[in-house]
């Protein structure tokens, strides 16, 4: 394969967000280099069916919104994902574990076929890899890291030195290398960050009763517990956010004890929890980059911000970043302006920073609301939830938000107008 030492765009990180940006820009006349530190064999990553047979469901799943589905459709990836495996969810039920407040959203009330899809992260990743690797102008290098990033020259071009010793000159570098982004650090961009005081346990569980194609979430003072439906009706993927000490205790339980603790915490809504797959735990931190762009540089996805998974919005925000950045670059190319200048890239920052900060503030608000103890706050919270459940306009607004259809959406995320 030709070794390019000059390129238009370098995307650091072949996660869901970085690959989505590459897929959206493929065919726009840019040469794109994608650098991934994991030594993955792309052909193996594509052999999804085989890995599925061997290891069952991926413990990491995402609730992809309708807006994210639209972005992945435009990127030419959604039909591939559909052919692999996904689960449309038709309802969401949220309730207060310390009272009677509850709210239910149903796609039928909105005349929609579903509210979103639960997709295993490795399925999304495989669909994206398949698309990106079939594009002539996209080149993926694995097992490499960025070790140095120069300041921009007068044309905003940056020089990158890789762990392999290769030196690349790029018109723009995109940090899509996740929450601990080294690329963002090399670009000299700091973060606001704080601990949520929660760890999240994720695993796949088998329940006595079917999941009813519903996303279930119980809020408690310790943190939210979510059951996300998988295509097998008796399987759900869980995200159990709780204090680090409680998470440690839960991780140390044997499978039978864990299933019992989970069933109690979930108030047995799906009957007995009969089986759990291997459990994984993630510390949860809120992070936000102080700026998303510089000359010849942009940060997207978790490299720019991380939020609490309680509303399942993390990767959805990242996909909106990818769409907004692709749009900014495409507009610049069409208008014949310096698309990699800080001035031009600020369009992307303006479009996304306020949306992402708003979502981060909402998640923080939710977390604090349900962390409040005492009879009066709990009573008010429950009354508020029950009232919301009866007020159609408020309910509709919340569900539009959950489907990713409200706010300032990138063009590439807007659904075509239906007849």
- Of 171 and 199, nearer to ligand FAD (C-beta) is 199
Among 9, 10, 11, 14, which residue interacts with ligand FAD (rule: CB under 6 A)? Answer: 14
Query: Which two tokens mark 115?
Result: 């509210």
Task: Decide if residue 362 touches ligand FAD (CB under 6 A).
Answer: no
List all residues 6 or more positions away from 404 whose beta carbon is below 8 Å from its beta carbon.
65, 66, 67, 68, 116, 313, 316, 320, 413
Candidates 36-44, 109-117, 291-299, 337-345: pick the segment binding ligand FAD (CB under 6 A): 36-44
Task: Decide if residue 314 touches ligand FAD (CB under 6 A).
Answer: yes
Task: Decide if residue 12 touches ligand FAD (CB under 6 A).
Answer: yes
CB of 395 to ligand FAD, least distance (A): 21
Query: Which two tokens mark 372?
Result: 């409040």
CB of 384 to ligand FAD, least distance (A): 25
The DSSP bridge pattern shows strands 146-149 and 280-289 to be: unpaired
- Of 161 and 386, nearer to ligand FAD (C-beta) is 161
Query: Which two tokens mark 53?
Result: 């047979």
Candidates 51-59, 269-277, 311-319, 372-380: pick the segment binding ligand FAD (CB under 6 A): 311-319
Task: Decide if residue 145 touches ligand FAD (CB under 6 A).
Answer: yes
Task: Decide if residue 38 touches ligand FAD (CB under 6 A).
Answer: yes
x-or-dash pattern for ligand FAD, window 46-75, by CB under 6 A? ----------------xx------------
x-or-dash pattern for ligand FAD, window 191-230, by CB under 6 A? ---------x-x----------------------------
> Cα dist. 417→109, 399, 414 in Å?
19, 19, 9
> Cα dist. 327→71, 145, 256, 270, 291 in Å?
11, 27, 50, 43, 19
Q: If we measure between CA atoms, which residue out of 72, 113, 109 comes closest to residue 89?
A: 113
Q: Interface residues with ligand FAD (CB under 6 A)?
A: 12-18, 35-38, 62-63, 145-146, 176-178, 182, 200, 202, 239, 282, 301-302, 309, 312-316, 318
């Amino acid at each position: 394969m030709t070794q390019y030492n000059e390129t238009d765009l370098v995307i650091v990180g072949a996660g869901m967000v970085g690959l989505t940006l590459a897929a959206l820009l493929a065919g726009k006349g840019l040469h794109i280099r994608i650098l991934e530190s994991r030594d993955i064999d792309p052909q193996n990553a594509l052999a999804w069916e085989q890995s599925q047979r061997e290891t069952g469901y991926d413990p990491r799943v995402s609730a992809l919104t309708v807006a994210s589905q639209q972005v992945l459709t435009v990127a030419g990836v959604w039909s591939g994902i559909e052919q692999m495996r996904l689960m449309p969810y038709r309802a969401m039920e949220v309730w207060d574990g310390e009272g009677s407040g509850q709210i239910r959203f149903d796609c039928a009330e909105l005349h929609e076929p579903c509210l979103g899809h639960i997709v295993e992260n490795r399925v999304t990743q495989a669909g994206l890899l398949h698309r990106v690797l079939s594009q002539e102008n996209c080149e993926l290098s694995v097992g490499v890291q960025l070790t140095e990033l120069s300041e921009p020259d007068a044309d905003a071009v940056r020089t990158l030195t890789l762990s392999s010793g290769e030196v690349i000159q790029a018109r723009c570098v995109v940090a899509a290398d996740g929450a601990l982004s080294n690329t963002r650090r090399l670009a000299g961009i700091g973060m606001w960050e704080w601990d949520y005081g929660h760890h999240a346990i994720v695993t796949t569980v088998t329940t006595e009763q079917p999941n009813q194609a519903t996303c279930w979430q119980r809020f408690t003072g310790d943190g939210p517990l979510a059951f996300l439906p998988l295509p097998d009706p008796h399987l759900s993927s869980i995200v159990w956010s709780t204090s680090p000490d409680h998470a440690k205790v839960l991780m140390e339980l044997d499978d039978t004890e864990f299933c019992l603790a989970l069933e109690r915490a979930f108030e047995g809504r799906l009957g007995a929890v009969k089986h759990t797959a291997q459990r994984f735990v993630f510390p949860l931190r809120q992070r936000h980059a102080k700026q998303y762009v510089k000359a010849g540089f942009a940060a997207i996805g978790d490299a720019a911000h991380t939020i609490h998974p309680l509303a399942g919005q993390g990767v959805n925000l990242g996909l909106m970043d990818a769409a907004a950045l692709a749009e900014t670059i495409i507009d610049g190319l069409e208008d014949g302006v310096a698309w990699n200048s800080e001035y031009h890239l600020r369009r992307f920052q303006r479009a996304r920073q306020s949306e992402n900060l708003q979502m981060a503030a909402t998640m923080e608000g939710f977390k604090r609301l349900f962390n409040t103890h005492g009879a009066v706050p709990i009573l008010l919270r429950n009354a508020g939830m029950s009232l919301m459940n009866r007020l159609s306009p408020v309910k509709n607004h919340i569900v539009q938000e959950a489907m990713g259809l409200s706010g300032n959406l990138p063009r590439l995320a807007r659904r075509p107008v239906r007849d």
